[in-house]
Amino acid sequence: MSIIKLTDRIKVMERKPMTLMERLYFPAILKGMGITIRHFFTKKATIQYPEEKRPMSEVFRGLHVLKRDDHGAERCTACGLCALACPAEAITMTAAERNPEEKHLYREEKYAAVYEINMLRCIFCGLCEEACPKAAIFLQNDKMALASYDREDFIFGKDRLVEPFLNSKS
Amino acid sequence: MGMSIVVFKIIYIAIIFGLSLFIAMYSTYAERKVAAFLQDRLGPNRAGPFGILQPLADGLKLFFKEEFIPAKSDKMLFLMGPGFFMITALMTSAVIPFGSEITLDGVSYSLQGTDLNVGLLYIFGVVSLGVYGILIGGWASNNKFSLLGAIRAASQNISYELAMGLSIIALVMMSSSLSLKSIVDQQAGWHWNVFYQPLGFIIFIICAFAETNRAPFDLPECETELVGGYHTEFSSMKLGFYLFAEYINMFISSAILATLYFGGYHFPWVSDMDSGWLKTLMEAVVLFGKIFFFIFLFMWIRWTLPRFRFDQLMNLGWKVLIPLAIVNILLTGLFILLK
């Protein structure tokens, strides 16, 4: 019966008695010590985590954020396309009409009074981001969704999703 | 004058005692650092700058751990074991010369606990007592794994002590003295024993590794087969004593290696200096440099070689090292005859 070879990289083990040099072990020990001492001086791959963070991949999809526009008004108009696109049905929202005095808070007449993402359902697929016509929702690539011990903590409302208002922005 | 020598010796012994403990303490830190560096890691670096407070943190942790004594153990012996191991580890430093001598108020004191004329025998005596600490601890635990570990330690230590003793005989034949001081003084300049006794040195260093229970001969503590080995039942600082004594042993063996084979405190241009404070200081520095190199070597080997199997260890001890040591004695005798 012939042996079927998948690659030509097979190494045939030779079981011959060791030569005197091999039986002395010292050359092998010294060689091994040479290898370890080389590693002593190599640059370490360690990242000092809390102080130093490894940058996430460009395409990593992490925690959601609801963006504001250049004037600080919320972009979301509660059109519901994100909720529709969501395969996990994690997004729920309630729309409301803007009052005239709230003009600086919301960009258009309609806005999301309640916007909730259930992080226990969310699969971080990013389809909400793709579906949004107003560029309001994004999945940040530098933030993970937080861990918690309570189920209630995983329902992220607007208080935790909307980008904080930055005064420095004009 | 008699009084001043007593005072000097007391101070000197206190210093050496403290120094041994301090070096052993920082050897644990160095071990972790060296292990990390050899494995492309950084090692402890959170406690203090570069993690230099790590040994204190480790010690504190050991002190606060639960003190546990097995109900069916021999309590007296159980408590004695770690202490005994520690005492025997510390006793050896008494005969190691850490420098030639210093002069205070016209009186010169030698930097050696005591210059026993049988210093080498004293070291062997104390080192062979060291195994009692392990054996007592393993026996008193009333745990069959501990006992097996202890028996392994005992058989290993006895086997390698034979080869070690035989390798030393060749050295004694060359120096015709058992006093460590005179052995060191014969090595002034480049007349280090390692050049005259390379085979003896290799046998000795292998035995030193086995005697200190360091890898690749760390069979008494074998997590895979024996849970923890002889110290399975020991907790908190009693375990700490066992682990700590191992590092003291390592320091002392390094000192003995440097003393017997690497010229002790002699280094060519240091031995030619004018005697005085500076010379003594330099001698101590040279000796400690050699000691630190050997401590590093111990760690380097530990993180390079895998552990031996027990039958391989016994084969190496009885069938290779002892015959080699005897051959070494014969060769040395031949050279002395022909010279």
pLDDT band at B303 (very low <50, low <70, confident <90, very high): confident
Tens digit of each residue's pLDDT (9 = 90 or more) over A21-70: 777 788 888 898 898 888 888 888 888 888 888 888 888 888 888 988 88
pLDDT band at B326 (very low <50, low <70, confident <90, very high): very high
Residue B27 has pLDDT above 70, yes or no: yes
Q: Do A44 and B41 touch (CB under 8 A)?
A: yes
Q: Is B303 on the interface with A (CB under 8 A)?
A: yes
Q: What is the pLDDT of residue A1?
A: 61
Classify each residue of B226-254 as buried b or exposed e, where b means 16 or more C-beta atoms within 10 Å of its C-beta. bbbbbbbbbeebbbbbbbbbbbbbbbbbb
On whether the CB atoms of residues A157 and A114 are closer than 8 A, the answer is yes
Residue A90 has pLDDT above 60, yes or no: yes
Closest CA to B190 of B267, B274, B128, B127: B267
What is the residue whose two structure tokens read 């260093």?
B205
What's the rounded mean pLDDT across residues B276-303?
A: 86
Q: Do A32 and B303 touch (CB under 8 A)?
A: no
B218 vs B136, residue with greater confidence: B136
| Max Cα-Cα span within chain A | 95
What is the residue whose two structure tokens read 């074998």?
B222
Q: Do A29 and B304 touch (CB under 8 A)?
A: yes
Q: What is the pLDDT of residue B1?
A: 54
Q: Share the mean pLDDT of chain B.
A: 84
pLDDT band at A169 (very low <50, low <70, confident <90, very high): very low
On whether the CB atoms of residues A82 and A122 are closer than 8 A, the answer is no
Tens digit of each residue's pLDDT (9 = 90 or more) over B210-255: 888 887 887 777 766 777 777 788 888 888 888 888 888 888 889 8
pLDDT band at A170 (very low <50, low <70, confident <90, very high): very low
Nearest to B300 among A33, A44, A45 (CB): A33
Q: Is A46 on the interface with B (CB under 8 A)?
A: yes
Nearest to A44 among B42, B300, B303 (CB): B42
What's the rounded mean pLDDT across residues B96-109?
A: 76
What's the rounded mean pLDDT across residues B296-321?
A: 87
Q: Is B309 on the interface with A (CB under 8 A)?
A: no
Q: What is the pLDDT of residue A167?
A: 55
Interface A–B counts its CB contacts (< 8 A) at 31
Model-level ipTM above the cut of 0.85:
no
What's the rounded mean pLDDT across residues B246-272?
A: 84
Classify each residue of B76-99 as buried b or exposed e, where b means 16 or more C-beta atoms within 10 Å of its C-beta. eebbbbbebbbbbbbbbbbbbbbb
CA angle (B232 as vertex; B228, B238 as ends), nearest 5: 120
Closest CA to A90 of A118, A127, A115: A118
Q: What is the pLDDT of residue A87?
A: 92
Name the closest residue on chain A to residue B206, using Cα atoms.
Answer: A26
Lowest-confidence region among A60-64, B29-33, B263-267: B263-267
Q: What is the pLDDT of residue B224?
A: 67
Contacts of A39 in chain B (CB under 8 A): 37-40
Residue B124 has pLDDT above 50, yes or no: yes
End-to-end CA separation in angstroms for chain B: 44
pLDDT > 70 in chain B, percent: 98
